[in-house]
Chains A and B, each alone.
Chain A
Amino acid sequence: MDKIKELERKSRARNTAWTVAVFALLVLWAVIVLFPFYWMLLTSVKSYASYNAEYVPKFFTLSPTIENYVQAFTAVPLAKYFVNTIIFTVVTTGLMLIIVVLSAFAFSRLEFKGKNLVFTLFLSLMMIPNELVIITNFVTITNAGLRNSFAGLILPSVTSVFYIYLLKENFEQIPDELYKAAKVDGTSDFKYLWKVMIPICRPTIVTVVILKVIECWNSYVWPRLITDDENYFLVSNGIQTIRESGFGRENIPAMMAAVVVISVPLIILFLVFHKKIMEGVSRGGTKG
């Protein structure tokens, strides 16, 4: 063991140059990641006049202003987009959670004919890309007269086969004995799920909720297809409208203020839950 330690010490000394290179790479990438966020924040507090007067943009400002934020909320219905997105996110996540927990419970704890067949079918649906089913869903929702309504926005995204799978795996780790003991005591299935399984699996459920909230907050394609009435726009659609026609003129500072406003909730969520989010995503989340 001493030999190993000595070798490790030697190689550490030799590696100072290597370490510098490593840190240089990491710092460079950190700058590339953070710079857009810094730039949106900086631009959002520059006044319209000073932004347009800077041929070479300044990297700081000495006279920050909130006029752009005022404009972002008054010139376009940003608050409305914001409230819509909150409603959409809360209702979708809530409904999804109920459906997912009930199904995971059925798959993990109850015995009934055809269970394995249905579960296999569910799993195979995980491979189906959203692009294939969105066309018919668009037609279905349009024919049902649910365009420009929260029902139309929410209903197609309240199930997730992946989260059912994730939660089922977690539920199965709870020992059988607990269930049997509860049955002996005459506890109903539903009460057992509510009082025992959900509290034990709270960490996984929290992860699922956070991932779904992120997904809802960022969703763009479906809301764009299903809404053309501004009263039902979510923030993503709102920002696209602002980009294409907002503020009447190319008011980039106000645009950036809007971008900051819609980015802040998720950044706060990330700062608070970053460990949980990263752990959840590495267990099987993907993007796009």
Chain B
Amino acid sequence: MYNRNNPKGWLYLLPALLFITVFMVYPLIDVFVYSFEEGYNFASQTYTGVGLYNYSYILHDPYFLQAIRNTFILVIITVPLSTGIALLISLALNSIKKLKDLFQTVFFLPYVTNTLAVGLVFMILFKKTAYTEGLINLLLNSVGISSVDFIEGPYWAKMFVLCFYTVWVVLPFKILILTSALASVNKDYYNVARIDGTSRLRMFTRITLPMISPSLFYLIITGFIGAFKAYSDVVALFGTDLNAAGMNTIVGYVYDMLYGNSGGYPSFASAAALVLFAIVLTITVINLLVSRKNVHYQ
């Protein structure tokens, strides 16, 4: 009928191929090369040797270890918490008819807003200044808890704000996915269960959870990946000098090594980025293995 081998296809693909080769494929190879080049000098683009020194350096750098610790704490707290809250809110949304669309739209709003800009509002709500304790502290005072500086104060307070803001930022996506998953569960299952006098809890664990388990696992996997790459929300709350604030993340460490006051070391940045990639890959593989056993695919 029409031409089986139409070389013009390559012509249509040319722009995409060009950009993908220059800005994705080549950098992907190059990042490995960089990570093994020792003593790389950014100005003269020369290096002194090849080996594992870059990895050894970052793994002994207290800033990197702190970044790893911060990132892991953030992941361990926010992934289960945000998934749990999202599930709760989606179940609530799914059980109402009136105002469902309105609530759904409101809940999705944080997804489209600028993380840096809204982070500034969170900072102001939590920050203690010379003029005021900050709104959150005044709320705490009113229930008898003494004020704490959440932005420049103790570590746990800063981690609390960060987790709170992260959950606020990631929830819209999770609510959206879970609400549509819940809405697509066939209502007949519930009707039959009701005739049998099944309790609400049992309906949830035996019908709802298995039916939405693919979406739930999708969210857990993307949630882990996203949380490991936390950066802009941290900057929004604590500023760009994250090492000084003691709140750096792995991605923040990569960028600090690349650029800024402590920058100019693409080799260290590459090694750190590859360590991050290895962590994320491992967690994702574990997630997939667990999900294969537990997820009910129709």
Contact = CB atoms under 8 A, between A and B. Distances in A.
Interface of A: 3-4, 7-8, 11, 18-19, 22-23, 25-26, 29-30, 32-34, 36-37, 39-40, 43, 52, 54-57, 98-100, 102-103, 105-107, 110-113, 115, 118, 122, 125, 128-129, 131-140, 155-156, 158-159, 161, 164, 179-180, 183, 189, 214, 217-218, 220-221, 224-225, 235-236, 239-240, 243-244, 250, 252, 255-256, 259, 262-263, 266-267, 269-270, 274, 277-278, 281-282, 285-288
Given A30-B103, A32-B168, 4 more contacts: A112-B5, A112-B10, A267-B113, A287-B111
A202 B186 CA distance: 31
Ranked nearest first, the 8 interchain pairs of A and B with the lowest CB-CB distance are A136-B27, A112-B9, A133-B27, A106-B12, A110-B9, A103-B16, A136-B30, A159-B19
B117 A111 contact: no
A126 to B, nearest CB: 10
Of A137, A217, A286, most buried by chain B (CB within 10 Å of CB) is: A286
B136 to A, nearest CB: 11
Interface of B: 1-10, 12-13, 15-17, 19-20, 22-28, 30-31, 34, 42, 88-89, 92-93, 95-96, 99, 103-118, 120-125, 129, 131-133, 135, 138, 168-170, 173, 176-177, 180, 191, 194-195, 222, 225-226, 229-233, 235, 239-240, 251, 254-255, 258-259, 266, 269-270, 273-274, 276-277, 280
Given A30-B106, A135-B31, A140-B22, A103 B125 contact: no
Nearest to B230: A288
Contact of B117 (A139, A159, A244, A259): A259
Contact of A112 (B7, B31, B120, B135): B7
A132 B277 contact: yes
A135 B88 contact: no
9 contacts: A155-B23, A180-B1, A218-B115, A263-B114, A267-B109, A270-B108, A277-B108, A288-B170, A288-B226
A128 to B, nearest CB: 6
A278 to B, nearest CB: 6
Contact of B255 (A105, A156, A179, A221): A221
A274 B113 CA distance: 13
Contacts of A240: 116, 235, 239-240
Given A110-B8, A259-B120, A159 B20 contact: yes
A159 B14 CA distance: 12
A137 B27 contact: yes
A69 B20 CA distance: 42
Of B22, B34, B99, B109, most buried by chain A (CB within 10 Å of CB) is: B109
Nearest to B233: A288
Contacts of A225: 255, 258-259
A103 B19 CA distance: 12
Contacts of A288: 169-170, 226, 229-230, 232-233
Contact of B24 (A125, A214, A262): A125
A278 B176 contact: yes
Contact of A221 (B28, B232, B270): B232
A244 B239 contact: yes
Contact of B266 (A135, A217, A221): A135
B66 to A, nearest CB: 18
A20 to B, nearest CB: 11
Contacts of B239: 240, 243-244
Contacts of B225: 129
B114 to A, nearest CB: 5
A3 B192 CA distance: 11
A244 B260 CA distance: 15
A105 B11 CA distance: 11
B88 A25 contact: yes
Nearest to B257: A135
B168 A286 contact: no
Nearest to B177: A282
Of B7, B24, B168, most buried by chain A (CB within 10 Å of CB) is: B24
B107 A33 contact: yes
Nearest to B124: A252
Given A132-B27, A133-B23, A239-B120, A26 B89 contact: yes
